[in-house]
Amino acid sequence: MRAFRPLWLPLAVLLALALLPAVLSPYLVDLTVKILISAIFALSLQLLVGATGLVSLGHAAFLGIGAYVAVLASPQGEGASLWWLLPAAMAGAAAYALFVGALSLRTRGVYFIMVTLAFAQMAYFVFHDTRLGGGSDGIYLYVRPVLRLGDTPLLDLEDKRQVYGLVVASLAFTWGLLALLLRSRFGHALQGIRVNEARMRAVGFRTYGYKLAAFVIAGALAGLAGALLAIQDGVVNPELLSWHESGAVLLMIILGGLGPLRGAIVGAVAFTLLKELFASEGLVGPLAAHWQMTLGLTIIAFVALLPRGIVGLRLPLRRATA
């Protein structure tokens, strides 16, 4: 019983998401896509921070590399095939994650935070200072990729609603993969490492390998989010890899709640909506020009009042009913 209880909620959410574009305006469809991509990105980081206890402040590097690979690997003038474009973006991000993880997992705690940050900055400067990806101006994706089975086109990503479908499917894939992973022996080992790494090593786990595997998987999933972002926006620039992005995604999962997968999604929704709300002139009037102030003060209020994130809010209720 218990094992199946949490399943109905994600499925209901997924169904609702799939039906949403029918009732939303194009602006809201775009906003929802933005939120869902953030959710994939935040989920990938939750595997590191929430499950394994590895706080990375350089996760945007993998998002950016995924996005750049998606654009650079697309041929000029015709749409790339999605069958290999998404895996290529994930592989590119995973390759850099393997390099970064192998070095940075030698350190721990605050050092790990700073080392991941520094490697992300390194990637940022590679794209910012060299002509590889158009320098600081970024690079455009002129023709969006296509999905064909034989000669039959399945998806036309010039159509925003179909991008939406692709993003929902990717979110479902990411959620499903992570949920399965966390229930597997591998996932339990990761959670053991978070609680007490020395003990895990003492009972015979090679914790370095487990952490590295988690780091690479998280990097690959962030690369997926990056590729989707490139397809959605049609443009990629180095700011995707900047530490502001790494900070923002970390904020999302802290805001939502560390640990449970739904914390990442709730956080991504809350953070993106708050930002959009405070910056939209129609809703908050002249305050919109000062969104940084309102967003900053709101986050401070969240920190002061919600020590366990938004999903922590439900805890007292559940205890009362249990």
Partner 1 sequence: MDATTFLVQCLNAVQYGLLLFLVASGLTLIFGIMGVINLAHGSFYMIGAYLAFALAPYFVGQFLPMLLAGTLLAALFGFVLEWVFFSFLYRREHLQQVLMTYALILVFEESRSLLLGNDVHGVQPPAWLAGSIALGELMSYPVYRLFASAACLVVAALLYLVVHRTRLGMMVRAGASNREMVRGLGIDVRLLYRGVFAAGVALAALAGMIAAPMSSVYPGMGGSVLIVSFVIVVIGGIGSITGALIASLLVGVVDTFGKVFFPALSGIGIYLLMAVVLVWRPEGLMRRGH
- Tell me if 184 contacts partner 1 by CB under 8 A: no
Per-position x/- string for 114-143, each x denoting binding to partner 1 as judged by CB under 8 A, each - no binding: xx-xxx-xx-xxx-xxx-------------
Count residues near partner 1 (CB under 8 A): 42
Q: How far apart are CA 36 and CA 224, in angstroms?
A: 12
- Tell me if 61 contacts partner 1 by CB under 8 A: no
Nearer to partner 1, 62 or 164 (CB): 62
Tokens read off for 140: 């455009």
From candidates 54, 90, 258, 311, binder to partner 1 by CB under 8 A: 258
Q: How far apart are CA 265 and CA 50, in angstroms?
A: 13
Nearer to partner 1, 236 or 258 (CB): 258
- Tell me if 240 contacts partner 1 by CB under 8 A: no
- Tell me if 293 contacts partner 1 by CB under 8 A: yes
- Tell me if 113 contacts partner 1 by CB under 8 A: yes
CB of 106: closest distance to partner 1 in angstroms?
Answer: 5
Determine the interface stretch with partner 1 among 35-43, 106-114, 167-175, 222-230 (rule: CB under 8 A): 106-114
CB of 35: closest distance to partner 1 in angstroms?
Answer: 20
User: Is-contact 73 80, C-beta < 8 A?
Assistant: yes
User: Is-contact 62 250, C-beta < 8 A?
Assistant: no
Q: How far apart are CA 206 and CA 121, in angstroms?
A: 29
- Residue for token pair 């053991």: 192
Nearer to partner 1, 179 or 295 (CB): 295
Q: How far apart are CA 309 and CA 270, in angstroms?
A: 11
Nearer to partner 1, 184 or 196 (CB): 196
Q: How far apart are CA 40 and CA 17, in angstroms?
A: 14
- Residue for token pair 């805001």: 255
Determine the interface stretch with partner 1 among 12-20, 27-35, 86-94, 243-251 (rule: CB under 8 A): 243-251
Neighbours of 48 (CB within 10 A): 25
Distance of CA 141 to the CA centre of its chain: 21
Query: b/e map of 178-190 (b: 16 or more CB within 10 Å)?
Result: bbebbeeeebebb
- Residue for token pair 């910012």: 128
Nearer to partner 1, 81 or 191 (CB): 191
Q: How far apart are CA 302 and CA 32, in angstroms?
A: 23
Nearer to partner 1, 74 or 116 (CB): 116
User: Is-contact 124 242, C-beta < 8 A?
Assistant: yes
- Tell me if 295 contacts partner 1 by CB under 8 A: yes
- Tell me if 84 contacts partner 1 by CB under 8 A: no
Nearer to partner 1, 9 or 293 (CB): 293
Q: Which residues bind partner 1 (CB under 8 A)?
A: 49, 55, 103-104, 106-107, 110-111, 113-115, 117-119, 121-122, 124-126, 128-130, 243-244, 247, 250-251, 254-255, 258, 290, 292-293, 295-297, 299-300, 302-304, 307
